[in-house]
Amino acid sequence: MNILVTGGAGYIGSVTVEQLIEQDYRVVVIDSMERGHKKAVHPDATLVEGNIGSKKTVADILRNYDIDAVMHFAADSLVGESMENPAKYFHNNVTCGLTLMHTAAEHGVKRFILSSTAATYGEPNEIPIPETHPNAPTNPYGESKLMLEKILKWFYQSYGMQYTALRYFNACGASKRFGEDHDPETHLIPLVLDAATGKRKFISVFGDDYPTPDGTCIRDYIHVIDLAKAHILALNTDGSGIFNLGNGQGFSVKEVIAAVELVTGKKIAVKIAPRRAGDPARLVASSEKAQKELGWKPLYPSLEDMVGTAWKWKCANPEGYKDK
């Protein structure tokens, strides 16, 4: 089976390509390299440097490599940046995403897997969040992904292109070869690891008076290999639909810091800062549906595994991919 992976030079895309190749899929990656790394592309994958918003580039790939299915990771995904510059998000995620989806449908692609986000739900009124929870994104990033999901629903109805949208919160961890190298980095685990290496002096904890057991916010973390495996399961499932990928319980900011201290053996300097506007106390998605219908079961649900694999990768690649 020939798979086009968009954003395959990015964090989650690179690990998914690796998993696909281990399972004998033929993989073509398209990445603009705006935030990607050439060294993050598995050597057995074909890399096309280009933009998913270019109809010609996408059409050439679909035709030349006889693509059966598309896994779509290419997007901008910084919540703060999306609030400052919504046009960038609607252009890159929605306009370019639509070009990709339309071209795929025109070329008879049978399956489309969208890496979506649990930011589609907005402030939850139920935890863990089920797929039936109302969608009310609180930022343009979440809105842009919700728009893609809606387009896919109509494309399925009219063009018969089956789709699966996977909604999740925080990817983390690393495979042996590929890990997280974002600039700027906004995710908690790599930021705390930077405090362990001395790259950052301290970690700011935004609020320790939330109604949670230790007073800090609780968030959902999924190991990147588990995410990759879920995308591949979705590839092999008939029908169309939306699935959450969550770990069911979530971990608090203090628990993440404690796990980093345990794994690295370093003491992390912490500064308690005021709460940030719009930060809910708890964000955890239910993955019951994915477990039942996709047969997905996380292999690395423990925080020690998530932090441990990210730490190993960071120790082996202290400056990341060093290609920027």
Ligand X SMILES: NC(=O)c1ccc[n+]([C@@H]2O[C@H](COP(=O)([O-])OP(=O)(O)OC[C@H]3O[C@@H](n4cnc5c(N)ncnc54)[C@H](O)[C@@H]3O)[C@@H](O)[C@H]2O)c1
- Active-site residues, by number, are 141
Q: Is 5 in the site for ligand X (CB under 6 A)?
A: no
- Residues 289, 172: Cα–Cα separation, whole Å: 22
Which of 115, 237, 252, 264 forms a contact with ligand X (CB under 6 A)? 115
Which of 51, 57, 175, 216 forms a contact with ligand X (CB under 6 A)? 51
Which of 4, 5, 30, 256 forms a contact with ligand X (CB under 6 A)? 30
Show contacts with ligand X in window 55-114 (CB under 6 A). Answer: 73-75, 77, 92, 96
Q: Is 323 in the site for ligand X (CB under 6 A)?
A: no
Shortest Å, Cβ 114 to ligand X: 8
Shortest Å, Cβ 34 to ligand X: 4
CB nearer to ligand X: give 105 or 148: 148
Shortest Å, Cβ 12 to ligand X: 4
Q: Is 117 in the site for ligand X (CB under 6 A)?
A: yes
Q: Is 306 in the site for ligand X (CB under 6 A)?
A: no
Q: Is 171 in the site for ligand X (CB under 6 A)?
A: yes
- Residues 228, 7: Cα–Cα separation, whole Å: 13
Shortest Å, Cβ 44 to ligand X: 18
Q: Is 225 in the site for ligand X (CB under 6 A)?
A: no
CB nearer to ligand X: give 77 or 286: 77
Stretch binding ligand X (CB under 6 A), from 27-35, 55-63, 157-165, 251-259: 27-35
C-alpha R_g of the chain: 19
Shortest Å, Cβ 267 to ligand X: 27
CB nearer to ligand X: give 139 or 162: 139
Contact between 50 and 28 under an 8 Å Cβ cutoff? The reply is no
Closest residue to ligand X, Cβ-based?
10
What's the per-residue H, E or C state across the chain?
A: CEEEEECCCCHHHHHHHHHHHHCCCEEEEEECCCCCCHHHCCCCCEEEECCCCCHHHHHHHHHHCCCCEEEECCCCCCHHHHHHCHHHHHHHHHHHHHHHHHHHHHCCCCEEEEECCHHHCCCCCCCCECCCCCCCCCCHHHHHHHHHHHHHHHHHHHHCCEEEEEEECEEECCCCCCCCCCCCCCCHHHHHHHHHHCCCCCEEEECCCCCCCCCCCEECEEEHHHHHHHHHHHHCCCCCEEEEECCCCCEEHHHHHHHHHHHHCCCCCEEEECCCCCCCCEECECCHHHHHHHCCCCCCCCHHHHHHHHHHHHHHCCCCCCCC
CB nearer to ligand X: give 12 or 260: 12
Q: Is 11 in the site for ligand X (CB under 6 A)?
A: yes
- How many residues in the shown chain lie near ligand X by CB under 6 A? 29
- Residues engaged in binding ligand X (CB under 6 A): 6-7, 9-13, 30-36, 51-53, 73-75, 77, 92, 96, 115, 117, 168, 170-171, 182
